[in-house]
């Protein structure tokens, strides 16, 4: 479905030193720095996959999305999506894809949302009946009914994002590129958007490529993650695999009947201790939760306990650290 081979994209960025002297100098002689936004990027994505595209700021995520949506032309490498080369057969190709740029807007600022949709209907030449059904489906699942007749400028951010996502799906694309679709959304809207993406993928086998900094998006939606850093693909694998690799500790929180003396535990670090509560960090390579409880149970009268996995943010941070990006 999507096949990128050895894609390279370099940007020329003007740079100059600080201060007035450097500014004057820059008027006559400009120095450029080459930024390798994408450096020999290759991957394959099959139909119906949801792929999370992650990496720190400036890693090349958005650049890849723009190459794949035919906006940017790479210097070298090949990209074949559904049999098209995006930047060469742009007009035929873009009919089949939907794009949401979380920080940009495609709807008209001054006119009601529905008018923007009508324009999109005409642009994509969607037959009336088809358009009506899609509109109804989107209105219902994304909860747009209340503000379809309202000009975009009067909508809240959450409403606007839902309207934007619906706008990108009116022509029933087979591939959906989501570039930070949940940026700035509140919890309810985020959940609604996630739920919707899942449903779309399950019911219509839409292939979804998602970039985000919200690791909960990744956790909730994707089976596979592509990690990009400094323009290179550093990791391509399942979310479960990554989790497993960085799942090196458990946080064990205990409450117990008062016990002033701290109890040490083998293969674990005592993070905090008060008379009734303690937090341990277990090294799962050397011990298990069960062993720890057995050991502690002999000395403490445990009232309650919780055991937590490392938060997904930390796993990803670990991944970034490992690759030095």
Partner 1 sequence: MRVSISHLNPYLALFRIRMIAGLQYRAAAWAGAATQFFWGFMLLSIYLAFYRSGGGEPPMPWPQLASYIWLQQAFLALFGLWWQDNELLSSITNGHVAYELCRPCDLYAFWSTRLLAMRLSNVALRCLPILTVTFFLPATYRLSPPAGVAGLLLFLLSITLAALLNVAVSMFVYILTFITLSPVGSRLLIGVASEFMMGSIIPIPLMPVWIQRLLNFFPFRYISDLPLRLWSGNIYGREALFQIMVQLAWLAGLCVLGHVCFRRVCKRVVVQGG
Instruction: List residues binding partner 1 (CB under 8 A).
Output: 11, 62, 66, 69-73, 90-92, 94-95, 97, 99, 101-106, 108-111, 114-119, 121-125, 127-128, 131-132, 135-136, 139, 145, 148, 179-180
Q: What CA–CA distance (Å, rounded) separates 259 from 174? A: 61
- Which of 7/265 has CB closer to partner 1? 7
**Nearest residue (CB) to partner 1, 149 versus 257:** 149
Name the residue among 298, 232, 185 with its Cα closest to residue 59: 232
57 vs 260 by CB, closer to partner 1: 57
> For residue 45, what are the contacts with CB-CB under 8 A and spacing of at least 6?
1, 2, 3, 51, 207, 209
209 has which bridge partners? 51, 177
Alpha-carbon gap, residue 277 to 297, rounded angstroms:
14
Closer residue to partner 1 (CB): 124 or 320 = 124
State in angstroms the smallest separation of the CB of 109 from partner 1.
Answer: 7
Whole-number minimum distance, CB 196 to partner 1, in Å?
Answer: 18
Joined tokens for residue 237: 């694998």
State in angstroms the smallest separation of the CB of 82 from partner 1.
14
The least CB distance from residue 120 to partner 1, in Å, is 9
If the CB atoms of residues 131 and 280 are measured against partner 1, the closer one turns out to be: 131
Mention every residue, 6+ apart, whose C-beta is less than 8 A from residue 298. Answer: none
Write out the E strands in 180-222. Answer: 207-211
Nearer to partner 1, 123 or 271 (CB): 123
Nearer to partner 1, 164 or 219 (CB): 164
Count of CA atoms in the C-beta half-sphere (13 A) of 290: 0
In whole angstroms, the minimum distance from the beta carbon of 52 to partner 1 comes to 17
Q: What b-and-e string marks burial along 179-211, b requiring 16 or more CB atoms within 10 Å of the CB?
A: bbbbbebeeebbebbbebbeebbeeeebbbbbb
Tell the smallest beta-carbon distance from residue 149 to partner 1 (Å): 8
Minimum distance from residue 63 beta carbon to partner 1 (Å) = 9
φ/ψ of 116, rounded to 5, equals -60, -40
CB 316 within 8 A of CB 248: no
State the virtual CA torsion across 53, 57, 63, 65 in degrees, nearest 10: 30
- Of 153 and 321, the one with the shorter C-beta distance to partner 1 is 153
- Least gap, CB of 233 to partner 1 (angstroms): 20
């Amino acid at each position: 479905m999507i096949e990128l081979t050895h894609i390279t994209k370099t940007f020329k960025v003007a740079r100059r030193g600080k201060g007035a002297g450097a500014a004057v100098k820059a008027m006559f002689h400009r120095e450029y720095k080459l930024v390798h936004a994408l450096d020999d990027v290759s991957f394959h994505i099959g139909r119906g996959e949801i792929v999370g595209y992650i990496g720190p700021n400036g890693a090349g995520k958005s650049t890849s999305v723009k190459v794949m949506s035919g906006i940017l032309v790479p210097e070298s490498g090949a990209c074949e999506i559904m049999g098209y080369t995006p930047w060469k057969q742009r007009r035929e190709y873009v009919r089949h894809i939907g794009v949401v740029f979380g920080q940009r807007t495609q709807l008209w600022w001054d006119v009601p949302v529905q008018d923007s949709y009508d324009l999109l209907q005409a642009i994509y030449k969607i037959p009336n009946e088809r358009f009506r059904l899609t509109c109804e489906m989107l209105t219902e699942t994304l909860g747009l009914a209340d503000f379809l007749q309202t000009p975009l400028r009067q909508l809240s951010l959450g409403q606007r994002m839902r309207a934007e996502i619906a706008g990108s799906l009116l022509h029933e694309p087979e591939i959906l590129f989501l570039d930070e679709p949940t940026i700035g959304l509140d919890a309810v809207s985020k959940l609604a958007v996630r739920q919707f993406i899942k449903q779309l993928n399950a019911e219509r086998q839409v292939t979804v490529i998602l970039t985000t900094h919200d690791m909960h998006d990744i956790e909730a939606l994707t089976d596979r993650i592509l990690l990009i850093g400094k323009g290179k693909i550093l990791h391509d694998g399942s979310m479960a695999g990554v989790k497993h690799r960085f799942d090196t500790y458990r946080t064990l929180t205990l409450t117990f009947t008062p016990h002033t003396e701290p109890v040490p535990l083998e293969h674990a670090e005592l993070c905090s201790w008060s008379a009734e509560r303690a937090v341990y960090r277990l090294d799962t390579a050397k011990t298990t939760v069960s062993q720890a409880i057995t050991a502690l149970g002999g000395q403490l009268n445990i009232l309650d306990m919780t055991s937590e996995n490392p938060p997904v943010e930390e796993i990803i941070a670990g991944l970034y650290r490992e690759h030095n990006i």
